[in-house]
Structure 1
Amino acid sequence: MTHSTIRAGATLEGVSAGYARRTVLHDVSVSFPAGAVTAVVGANGSGKSTLLGVLAGILRQSGGTVTRPAGPPALVVQHDAVPPLLPITVRETVEMGRWPVRRPWQRLTRHDRTAVDDALAATDLTALSGRRLSALSGGQRQRALLAQALAREAHLLLLDEPTASLDVPGREAVSRALRAMAEEGMTVVQATHDLPEAQRADHCVLLREGRVLAAGPPADLLTGETLLSLWS
């Protein structure tokens, strides 16, 4: 699995979006660079999940334009969104990432199997591939969902609070996997409340009440004064 030649990031230009009659994002213009991890930081209700939904193409904007890398993006949900007793192995979970390309009832091709193997290796799950998903720790299940997304070979990877409720080893494992994907050229965007995780990102977008407060290097933005303004 290599994305090293892919250098087209994602961009929102004057995007507004929301639900029913409630607008959540207001005239948002921001870029997400390829080959980098971008952390989207903001208080609850600031529009982080809505922004991910627009980037994923599952929520249509009411105004503005969205530019994405070629191919459908991959969206990773939190591990606790998966039924805990789902009777499925780690490998079967990751194989589901190939369904948009290969229908569930079709046999996997050699390329499909290679993509699954690569995704398992990238998330350090090869040794656990035969284990039931329900038998894994929270951090391991989150990595399984990440591997499922990687198996799609998407150029845009979107994650909603990927380290929420994980222990330190789990957070570090997910962070390493995201770093490896960015180094291969993927555009990685994660919404997060985890400030240490945001500080490890290459790029940061601060959202407040559906508007971009600032965007740039985390070292410049994640200061006490700026963070206070996000939650004030």
Structure 2
Amino acid sequence: MLQVTNLNQFYGGSHILRGLSFEAKPGEVTCLLGRNGVGKTTLLKCLMGLIPAKSGEIHWQGKTINQHKPHQRVRAGMAYVPQGREIFPRLTVEENLLMGLSRFSGAQAKQVPDEIFELFPVLHAMRYRRGGDLSGGQQQQLAIGRALACRPQLLVLDEPTEGIQPSVIKEIGVVIKTLAARGDMAILLVEQFYDFAAELADRYLVMSRGAIVQSGDGENMEAEGVRHLVAI
């Protein structure tokens, strides 16, 4: 579904993304790993149209989308959960989730899909609480739920375990596995927590200094020394 070919990006004179090429397929979790500052978040912002790619091509469902604005990419079925969650703290949980329905119109945009509350029961229990009153882990679940409300075919997650308690990390992992098992969604997961990535990855990519330096099947991550490559 998602194909990236020879993607380059610069900040001033610095070459941030260096000829990246990879794909993310439906029914698979593609994990992108790397230490801080190697360009992972910059890549995701390019994918979502938040910053333009200097050169190279981004293909989504067979079409080049380099010129698409972020809202056009969302309407095309791409969803992004940024690092830091970025929920609306003064809106209720339910109102935050309804914001995720903005790509739809009429009756479709008036009610949170039952599936969201099935995946994250805590959000149903707290649907009338303000987003800012939730714990960090609950806010992360809310951010993922809001992204899923638009019924995406690609879910992009930027370090969903950051600052989250272990019990919620486990719950988020179960949700990611459930979504991948349905077979109709590609999941691109950027992660520094090696064990979390290794448990979920169908495919892995390792970035260093703006380039993909290693890739392979998730089941081979330990044997292929990925832990050492991403150790801080």
| Alignment partner of 1:164 is 2:167 | no
Runs of 5+ unmatched residues, structure 2: 62-72
Aligned to 1:73: 78
What amino acid does structure 2 have at the position aligned with 1:76?
Answer: V
Q: CA deviation at 1:114?
A: 5.1
Aligned to 1:97: 100
Aligned to 1:5: none
| Alignment partner of 1:30 is 2:19 | no
Aligned to 2:219: 219
Distance in 2, Cα, partners of 1:91 & 1:82: 12
Q: CA deviation at 1:113?
A: 4.0
- Contact 1:159–1:190, Cα closer than 8 Å, also in 2: yes
Aligned to 1:207: 207
What amino acid does structure 2 have at the position aligned with 1:121?
Answer: E
| Alignment partner of 1:116 is 2:132 | no
Q: CA deviation at 1:17?
A: 1.6
What amino acid does structure 1 have at the position aligned with 2:79?
Answer: A
- Contact 1:12–1:67, Cα closer than 8 Å, also in 2: yes
What amino acid does structure 1 have at the position aligned with 2:34?
Answer: G
Distance in 2, Cα, partners of 1:189 & 1:35: 11
* Deviation readout 1:62-84 (Å, 9 max, x if unpaired): 1111112481411102346447x
Normalization by structure 1: what TM-score?
Answer: 0.84
How many residues were matched structurally?
Answer: 216
Normalization by structure 2: what TM-score?
Answer: 0.84
- SS of the residue corresponding to residue 132 of structure 2 reads helix
Q: Cα 1:131–1:156, aligned 2, differ >3 Å: closer, same or farther?
A: same
Aligned residue runs from structure 1 range 100-179, under 5 A: 100-102=103-105, 109-113=106-110, 116-124=113-121, 125-179=123-177
Distance in 2, Cα, partners of 1:172 & 1:53: 26
Runs of 5+ unmatched residues, structure 1: 1-8, 103-108
Aligned residue runs from structure 1 range 182-197, under 5 A: 182-184=180-182, 185-197=184-196
Q: CA RMSD in A?
A: 2.2
Distance in 1, Cα, partners of 2:147 & 2:226: 33
Structure 1 runs (4+) greater than 6 angstroms displaced: none
What amino acid does structure 1 have at the position aligned with 2:196?
Answer: E
